[in-house]
Amino acid sequence: MVVIVSHFFSASRGSYPLTADYVVSFVGDDTEYENLILNRQAGNITTHPISGTSVTSSDINAAANVEELLYLVYKMRQEIFFAEGRRVIDLGIKLPVADYEAISNGDVSEEHQVPQIPSFISSLNLSDYPLDNFTNDEGNKKITIDYDFTKMIVNNKSSNEVVPFF
């Protein structure tokens, strides 16, 4: 299991932004999002104990179609459940049950011991660019994320692996 996770996610990097004056965008999209990076150098960070998210009621009211609303739903899920590992499930990734669990639990079938990686993710060149790869342009205070997985979820909403709403 560690091999799979380390293949998809970069383990460490020295280019994380440290201040809140950065904007965030995605490769191929010129939209710049503000206030997504917290200034951890300034002291304690105020967090929302229930549902901290950058999505506002104005964002929801401005959504023009189902795809834009679905994008906001999955953006909120990413932000709210970040620490709970739900993003991997939202992406349709299922990691295999560990061997020691499978041996001791008769309810674990062979299906549970095979990783599931949707084709829209497995087709990416992940050997060169892990799922969480980004570029930090320190001079312009801009983070550019390689993959907008929220958009991929919406674009693949008819897939059996993602989006239980359809």
Residue range 95-136, pLDDT digits in tens: 889 888 989 998 998 888 888 888 888 887 666 657 778 889
Average pLDDT of the chain to the nearest whole number: 80
The pLDDT value recorded for residue 9 is: 45
d(CA 27, CA 135): 10
Q: C-alpha 58: how far from its chain's center?
A: 23
Average pLDDT over residues 43-55: 71
Measure Cα distances from 101 to 36, 97, 110 in Å: 38, 7, 12
Whole-prediction pTM value? 0.72
d(CA 158, CA 166): 7
Average pLDDT over residues 14-25: 85
Average pLDDT over residues 38-62: 78
How deeply is 50 buried, as exposed, middle or buried, from its count of CB atoms within 10 A (0-12, 13-18, 19+)? exposed
Helices (H), 81-158: 86-90, 99-104, 119-122, 149-155
